[in-house]
Amino acid sequence: MELDVGLVVTLAVVIFVASTVNGVAGFGFALVAVAALAVVLAPRPAVVLISVITPALQIFQLRYHWEFRSVAGRLVPMLVASVVGTVVGSNLLVILPGYALAIALGLFALWYVIASLRTSPMLVAATTERRIAPAVGALAGVSNGALGASGPILGSYLLALGLTGRHFVFAISLTFAVMSAIRIGTLALLGEYTLTVVLLGLGLALPAWIGQRLGFLLRDACRRAASSASFSSRCWRRARTSSTEGSPRRSWRSAASSPLRSVR
């Protein structure tokens, strides 16, 4: 990989933006980063480079949402299958030609756009969850290993389980963390890491950390604004209700007192 100042700046900007998205939404770093970097680099170097940065971001996410870790127990079957899928996907990343990876990445992004058009997730029952969890984990692992991203697959599944808010973020971050660790080990065994890639990835960890911290701040600000707006709305409705209920009483009292005043 030949580096120059313009390329390094471009990579830093892409990583910063993708990390900010990750901080706000809880996922999306790999999807944004790989899709953008694949334009600058070939798909394989983009995925290999992103694999160096991803683990740190997932660790920060897990620490940030650690109090919601109770959801981890129900994810075990999916996590075990995702390990196998990640090993298979990482080998596909090395074996498949670049144009095949580019086509697969484009189709994956198209599928994500189509899937995001759903207004509400399709919920699955507990018995269905036990049956499909290994398949979802394996598919997500293959996608994560070969394309560097699996957020749409995992996101759709976790929403179908009824996970929302910070429980959702912890669950998807835990899965990403497991797959990231397996992917790094597999790619290292396959000899995909060079000194240049490792040093560049470690250097890009700084804009990634800054972007994610900014995303956390934006997420908290949005949460506080939504809470404040909800509180103001409740107060307004109560004030209107009190005003509506109080008006007839005042009218009745004034009407009842009028004859007395006239008699006096």
What per-residue confidence (pLDDT) applies to 136?
Answer: 93
What per-residue confidence (pLDDT) applies to 51?
Answer: 92
Q: What residue segments make up the domains of the chain, in order of their start?
A: 5-218
The segments of the chain whose pLDDT lies below 70 read: 1, 112, 115-121, 227-264
Please write the tens of the pLDDT for every residue from 70-82: 999 989 999 999 9
Cα separation of 181 and 55, whole Å?
Answer: 7
Cα separation of 60 and 66, whole Å?
Answer: 10
Instruction: Please write down the long-range contacts of 32-39, taking CB distance under 8 Å and 24 or more positions apart.
Output: 33/148, 34/105, 34/147, 34/148, 34/149, 35/105, 35/109, 35/149, 37/11, 38/102, 38/105
What per-residue confidence (pLDDT) applies to 243?
Answer: 53
Asked if 86 contacts 182 with a C-beta cutoff of 8 angstroms, the reply is: yes
Global confidence as pTM: 0.77
What per-residue confidence (pLDDT) applies to 119?
Answer: 63
What per-residue confidence (pLDDT) applies to 120?
Answer: 67
What per-residue confidence (pLDDT) applies to 130?
Answer: 85
